[in-house]
Each structure stands twice: as C-alpha cells, then as structure tokens.
C-alpha cells in the first residue's frame, strides 16, 4: 500500500506545486508598475551618470528628471477611483532629497517672485487617498514653471476633466511633460528662473489614455481606446479651453523625441497616435 500511495503522490506532486504557486501569485500590479505600465518614454534609468534622464519612481508617480533644466522631462502616473479620497491639500512644497547626493535641489522658494506658478505634473487632487500620497505631489521634482493662467485655468480644467472621467467609471494613464525654452508669466517673458538653474519651458503637453475601470494592461488598449493629447503654449495669454489645444501623440513625439505608449502593440500605437481626439471636454 505504501508503494501505491507514494506513486500516486509522485504523479500528483507537480499539480499540487502548480496550484500552490498559482495561489501564492499576486497578479495585481503595484502602483509603481502601473505608473509605467504603458512604457518608459525616454528609457530613463536610476543611473546618476545620466543626469538629464534620471528615473525616479514612487507609488504616486514615475518621472524622468533633467538636472540641467531643473524640471522633469516627463511624469507618468495611473489614476483610478481608489486614488481619489478626502485627504486635504498639503501645500508642503519642498526639495526632493531622493535626488543623488551633490545635485542641486530646487526648493519651495526657487519660483518666488518669478511670475510663474509651481505647476504640478501629477496634480495634488489626483492623490487624495491619503495625506502621504498628497504630500508626495508637492516635491519640487514634480513641478515646472507654468504661466499662472495656464496652470490655474486651462490645465486645471483638463485635470478636473480627467477626474470626472474616473468618477464616471474609467481609469487613466497620464503622461505630462514640457519642451522648449521660454515662456511668459505674469511678469513677462523669461527663459529661466532661480538664477538660471530652472528652465522655463515653451510648451506643456499631456497624454491621457482612457480605459474602463478594471482594465489596466497595455493589452487592454485597442484601436478604439480614447487617447487625449494636448499641447499648449506656456503663455499667460493662453486660451481657457484646453480642447482647442488637442493634437496627436505623433506630433508630440516629433517635438520631444520621446517614444510614448511604447508598451502598446505597434499596430494599435500607429492608429491611436495619429488620431486627434474629438470627444467631450467636460
């Protein structure tokens, strides 16, 4: 009987092991995974020897930092209903000590008197599930000098529309960045602030990929997925309606040299990136 019992278990052992492994596998992606699920647009790495394409990741967002410009090349984050809660705005703008030792750290006062706002990439209101997550959005590596009317009006309306989409049963992948040099704030035009250590970009852009709640894999993105691409001038004279600044992902890639949505199937990318969004804006 013992030999029969042992033989039977030798046969069943691989099945049992597979079931055990499957039961232990946590297939839910981490927040860090989600923030870069659609790709790393510049191939950024956490190598200090690449100071103008330095990768920083945290649960709230991922970014490629450009040390010479003092602002990110891009910031990428995932937005779902679980990210929207009741945590108050922290307003604790501060230097990011996660940057490598010896690097200049932009501070809360670096923008003071410049005529430009400390414009968020990942917005404060996109991270209200906890005080800690909201606080993370106030690190200065998440900021750029943004014309006040662009930040407080045009961009704010786009950000609120994104949260409206989430409340309506969607989850989003969002990438924001900037390029060029020279914008116009409330005190006129400028190329840099903070004694030349922070570049004022000429354009601010954003790409929003809209998926039904529960879908967050690159494989869930298909030719019918809504993709909103916006490219606005960093000028205080900017128009209020963000929908007037819609463009294609292809055009943004040509302007920035980035490879956006690189984790999406190439054939789907080709379709989505050539299309200008015509959907609602509120």
The pLDDT value recorded for residue 1 is: 39
Task: Calculate mean pLDDT across residues 77-94.
Answer: 98
Task: Calculate mean pLDDT across residues 75-91.
Answer: 98
Task: Calculate mean pLDDT across residues 114-136.
Answer: 98
CB 148 within 8 A of CB 117: yes
Mean pLDDT of the chain: 92
Q: How far apart are the first and last CA of the chain?
A: 73
The pLDDT value recorded for residue 16 is: 38
The pLDDT value recorded for residue 2 is: 40
The stretches of the chain forming alpha helices (DSSP H) are 2-24, 31-35, 131-136, 148-149, 156-167, 249-256, 266-273
Give pLDDT tens digits for 181-239.
999 999 999 999 999 999 999 999 999 999 999 999 999 999 999 999 999 999 999 99
Whole-number Å distance between alpha carbons of 131 and 72:
23
Whole-number Å distance between alpha carbons of 242 and 156:
9
The pLDDT value recorded for residue 15 is: 39
The pLDDT value recorded for residue 20 is: 38
The pLDDT value recorded for residue 32 is: 87
Task: Calculate mean pLDDT across residues 138-156.
Answer: 98
Burial grade of 105 (CB within 10 A; 0-12, 13-18, 19 or more): middle
Q: Which residues contact 265 (CB under 8 A, 6 or more apart)?
A: 218, 219, 221
120 is catalytic: yes
Task: Calculate mean pLDDT across residues 239-243.
Answer: 98
Q: Which of 161, 151, 179 is nearest to 240 (CA)?
A: 151
Is 172's pLDDT higher than 90? yes
The pLDDT value recorded for residue 27 is: 58
Which residue is it, tokens 């997550």? 133
- Choose, from 66, 120, 121, 216, the residue flagged as catalytic: 120
CB 140 within 8 A of CB 107: yes
% of the chain at pLDDT higher than 90: 88
Give pLDDT tens digits for 14-58.
433 433 334 444 457 888 899 999 999 999 999 999 999 999 999
Is 63's pLDDT higher than 60? yes
Whole-number Å distance between alpha carbons of 82 and 204:
27
70 phi and psi, to 5 degrees?
Answer: 75, 20
């Amino acid at each position: 009987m013992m030999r029969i019992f042992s033989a039977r278990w030798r046969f069943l052992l691989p099945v049992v092991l597979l079931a055990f492994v499957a039961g232990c596998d946590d297939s839910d992606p981490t927040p860090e995974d989600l923030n870069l699920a659609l790709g790393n647009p510049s191939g950024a790495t956490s190598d200090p020897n690449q100071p103008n394409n330095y990768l920083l990741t945290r649960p709230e967002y991922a970014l490629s930092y450009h040390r010479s410009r003092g602002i990110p090349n891009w910031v990428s984050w995932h937005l779902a209903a679980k990210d929207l809660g009741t945590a108050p705005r922290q307003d604790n703008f501060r230097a990011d000590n996660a940057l490598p030792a010896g690097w200049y750290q932009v501070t809360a006062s670096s923008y003071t008197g410049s005529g430009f706002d400390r414009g968020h990439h990942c917005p404060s209101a996109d991270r209200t599930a906890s005080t800690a997550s909201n606080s993370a959005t106030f690190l200065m590596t998440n900021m750029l000098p943004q014309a006040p009317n662009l930040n407080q009006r045009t961009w704010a309306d786009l950000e609120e529309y994104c949260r409206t989409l989430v409340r309506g049963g969607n989850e989003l992948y969002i990438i924001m960045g900037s390029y060029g040099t020279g914008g116009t704030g409330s005190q006129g035009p400028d190329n840099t602030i903070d004694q030349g250590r922070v570049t004022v970009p000429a354009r601010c852009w954003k790409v929003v990929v809209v998926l039904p709640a529960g879908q967050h894999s690159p494989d869930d993105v298909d030719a019918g997925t809504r993709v909103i691409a916006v490219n606005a001038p960093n000028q205080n004279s900017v128009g209020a309606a963000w929908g007037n600044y819609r463009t294609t992902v292809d055009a943004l890639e040509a302007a920035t040299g980035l490879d956006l949505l690189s984790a999406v199937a190439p054939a789907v990318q080709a379709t989505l990136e050539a299309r200008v969004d015509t959907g609602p804006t509120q």
